Chains A and B, each alone.
Chain A
Amino acid sequence: MAKKKRMKDLTLLERIYLPEIAKGMALTFQNMFRPSFTMEYPEVKFEPPASYRGRPVLALEENGEERCVACGLCSRVCPALAIEVQAAETEREKERYPEKFEINMLRCIFCGFCEEVCPEEAIIMSKDYELAFSNREDAVYGKDKLLTPVSVLKDRIEFLRQYK
């Protein structure tokens, strides 16, 4: 193969690369005085804004009652079929409650449709993003992991109401 001729040969300065290295170092040096964007996770934790969609949770009223009436709309709308609800009867005025409520976090895609469709404002996208499991069974969150006091979810509920 014939030797390809360069468009333009490099000058001496370019060939020794030193000025370029100095330029790069200068840029790096400059950045040392800028505010930092990174966090020292997990020592420092990221506090997401209200618009953030973390893992979905179930709201628990202050009097200890769950809001969910097990209508099954979240389960129906879920594009990933992550939610399974089994309803049962209760003595409360809203006569229906979830006997079983499970979200398979391996299936969940954090789209927030469940939150949008919920007629009772019961399923809410929390700010929790720390999801790690070592086996499939642990990834299925039952009511024990899902029920969260309303006070913790205040931000998100206010955010949602703005857009109703």
Chain B
Amino acid sequence: MPKITIDNKELEFKPGQTIIQVAKDNGIEIPHFCWHPSLSVSGNCRVCLVEVEKMPKLVIACATIAADGMVVHTQSEKTISARNAVMEFILINHPLDCPICDEAGECKLQDYAYQHSVGESRFTETKQHKDKRVELGPHVMFDGERCISCSRCIRFCDEVAGENQLTFVKRGDKVTIVTFPGKQLDNPYSLNVTDICPVGALTNRDFRFKSRVWDMSSTKTICSGCSRGCNTDMWVRSNEVLRLTPRYNDNVNSYWMCDNGRLNTFKFVNEDSRVNGPHLRRDGKLTKVGWDEVFASAVSELKSFNKDEVAFIGSAYSTLEDNFLFAKFAKSVFGSKNFDFPRVTVPGSGDNILITEDKRPNSLGAELVGMSGNGMNFNQIIKGLIDGKIKALYVVDENLIELNPELEANIAKLDLLIVHASNFNTLTNYANIVFPSATYAEKNGTWINIEGRIQRLKPAVATFEADRSLDGMAMSRLDKFGTEYDRWGKVRKVDARSTWKIIVGLANAFGTKYKYTMAEEVFSDISKSIDEFKDLNYDSIGEFGTQLKFKKQIVKV
């Protein structure tokens, strides 16, 4: 293997790598704006200048191919003075509006200005004025003055999203970014440009001004938008989810996620329509009751039916643990064979980048833990519902009426409808018993994505029973130091439980003692009883997930 010396360290590299790649692989940070590991090299920001021995001038680390025996200095006097000079040039036309700018706190320019510039500007002339608050597309806002013309966003659209929508116009210090005439920045991945923008020129219109980044906590979790299972960070302040950002995972989503996943998968967690505490229908109205009461009532109701008249419907939104225990309950506690879950695919909605046609994050997982029984399948259950053979339905985390509005009349005729729901919806309108279901943002668990990769969900929002500090959840500054007397400390905590936990309570009320107290214990049972999960536990799955090896052929959904 060829060797290169960077800052007196001899490092091996693969032929063809650039200096900045070799440095990054070995934990040496060379400042950069325009270079991005997943995009092509453009070499226009010049901040990655390094000194290479025997070369007449400094070279840019992002576009110089590493060669055997090359000696590079990233901290020499010459390099640092060049870097300071480049920073001074970049800052000439950059407005001093960090207090107003949303990027502050996660801004590369701000960081490098602290590290590599003198702190005072020698530029006394008037700065260039450009267009501010330009709506480049439905989700992205552009501020021309803040832009440092690194072209990352242009390259992202061309190379990753595959749609040429952005370009540079004008020259010199007047250069700015516009959309092509008649076009908008509206590709399904447009919001990724706000993540890769090293400054605050491109901002997320949905998140603008909502919170300072240092006031939020971030939790490593998974997107629930489709079966790709993009790794994400969930940003929470005062127990309210404020934004999702993609988290790097080379095996799943690289640095990206789609706009639909980013914008439409967390707002229901914050909504007022959340089911808070278990509800029973009394005199035609859903009334909040205690947990013990609702378990007792559910048991006596369920026992009044013949086993063939009841069907259980799980969900590919639920975690492995939820589905495993729900299926186990239906099979061995209640003794029914009629349990399955709906497969929700939208043909033609997928693409070759990230979005898949399967709109549920855990279809493969639900299949693997045996959520479909050997009795009636989902379509037969629905048919039975229409025929009137099914008199009682137990539905977890799915809104059957939203899936098929024609079922509304049949559902209204059911003798018993038990629903686990996070929010009140059209289905809970007909429910006799509603269990408050914790959302994916509130529970521990695992999902399996379309490629058979098992990934961890972690709670980012605290429920009524949870305690951020005791349960090891991510905490922001306000969470750490706030008290119940502070306004920000008075947060809403919904009284909701994960499905597996509700099932434990229900099974115990049936007289079958389930002893699970944590999702992890349910998972250890899964790993003991199903071959694919052998020797797996939450620690070995890790924050980037683990690829499962399939022993039997799984029907791909």
Chain A residues in the interface with B (C-beta under 8 A): 69-73, 75-76, 81, 84, 87-89, 94-96, 102, 104, 107, 119-120, 136, 140
Residues in B with CB closer than 8 Å to A88 are 209
Cα of A102 to Cα of B188 in the assembled complex, Å: 39
Cα of A76 to Cα of B486 in the assembled complex, Å: 16
Chain B residue at minimal CB-CB distance from A118: B99
22 pairs, CB–CB < 8 Å, chain A vs chain B: A69-B100, A71-B100, A72-B212, A72-B215, A75-B215, A76-B215, A81-B481, A81-B486, A87-B209, A89-B208, A89-B209, A94-B100, A95-B100, A95-B133, A96-B209, A102-B487, A104-B487, A107-B486, A119-B98, A119-B99, A120-B99, A136-B485
Chain A residue at minimal CB-CB distance from B205: A89
Cα of A161 to Cα of B410 in the assembled complex, Å: 75
Q: Which of B132, B209, B214 contacts A70 (CB 8 A)?
A: B209
Interface members, chain B 52-99 (any A CB < 8 Å): 97-99
Interface members, chain B 199-249 (any A CB < 8 Å): 208-210, 212, 214-215
Residues in B with CB closer than 8 Å to A73 are 99
A86: min CB distance to chain B, Å:
8
Cα of A14 to Cα of B215 in the assembled complex, Å: 71
How many pairs of A and B residues are in contact by the CB < 8 Å rule?
44
Cα of A143 to Cα of B212 in the assembled complex, Å: 20
Cα of A88 to Cα of B97 in the assembled complex, Å: 16
Chain B residue at minimal CB-CB distance from A71: B99
Complex contact B482–A81 (CB within 8 A)? yes
Residue picked from B208, B212, B481, most chain A C-beta under 10 Å: B212
Residues in A with CB closer than 8 Å to B481 are 81
Residues in A with CB closer than 8 Å to B487 are 84, 102, 104, 140
Residues in B with CB closer than 8 Å to A72 are 212, 215
The answer to whether the Cβ of B464 comes within 8 Å of any Cβ in the partner chain is: no
Residues in A with CB closer than 8 Å to B509 are none
How many residues does chain B have at the interface if contact means C-beta atoms less than 8 Å apart? 21
Which label, helix, strand, loop or mixed, suits the secondary structure of the B interface? loop
Cα of A96 to Cα of B488 in the assembled complex, Å: 21
Complex contact B100–A96 (CB within 8 A)? yes
Cα of A75 to Cα of B237 in the assembled complex, Å: 14
Q: Which of B132, B209, B214, B482 contacts A76 (CB 8 A)?
A: B214
B484: min CB distance to chain A, Å:
11
Cα of A88 to Cα of B104 in the assembled complex, Å: 16
The answer to whether the Cβ of B478 comes within 8 Å of any Cβ in the partner chain is: yes
Residues in A with CB closer than 8 Å to B99 are 69, 71, 73, 96, 119-120
Complex contact B478–A81 (CB within 8 A)? yes
Cα of A96 to Cα of B477 in the assembled complex, Å: 23
Residues in B with CB closer than 8 Å to A136 are 485
Residue picked from B100, B215, B487, B488, most chain A C-beta under 10 Å: B100
Cα of A76 to Cα of B104 in the assembled complex, Å: 13
Which 3 A-B pairs give the minimum distances between C-beta atoms? Answer: A71-B99, A87-B209, A72-B212
Residues in B with CB closer than 8 Å to A84 are 487-488
Apart from the given pairs A71-B100, A71-B104, 20 other A-B contacts in the complex at a CB distance below 8 Å: A69-B99, A69-B100, A72-B212, A73-B99, A76-B212, A76-B214, A76-B215, A81-B482, A81-B486, A84-B487, A84-B488, A87-B209, A89-B209, A94-B97, A95-B100, A95-B133, A96-B100, A102-B487, A104-B487, A119-B99
Cα of A136 to Cα of B490 in the assembled complex, Å: 14
Residues in A with CB closer than 8 Å to B208 are 89
B126: min CB distance to chain A, Å:
16
Residues in A with CB closer than 8 Å to B209 are 70, 87-89, 96
Cα of A73 to Cα of B99 in the assembled complex, Å: 8
Residue picked from B98, B99, B104, most chain A C-beta under 10 Å: B99
Residues in A with CB closer than 8 Å to B98 are 71, 119
Interface members, chain B 79-134 (any A CB < 8 Å): 97-100, 104, 132-133
Residues in A with CB closer than 8 Å to B104 are 71
B481: min CB distance to chain A, Å:
5
Binary interface profile of B, 482-508, with partner A (CB < 8 Å = 1, else 0)? 100111100000000000000000000
Cα of A81 to Cα of B487 in the assembled complex, Å: 11
Residue picked from B133, B214, B486, most chain A C-beta under 10 Å: B486
Cα of A85 to Cα of B481 in the assembled complex, Å: 16
B320: min CB distance to chain A, Å:
38
Residues in A with CB closer than 8 Å to B482 are 81
Cα of A70 to Cα of B487 in the assembled complex, Å: 18
Residues in A with CB closer than 8 Å to B215 are 72, 75-76
Cα of A38 to Cα of B162 in the assembled complex, Å: 79
Complex contact B133–A104 (CB within 8 A)? no
Residues in A with CB closer than 8 Å to B478 are 81
Cα of A102 to Cα of B482 in the assembled complex, Å: 15
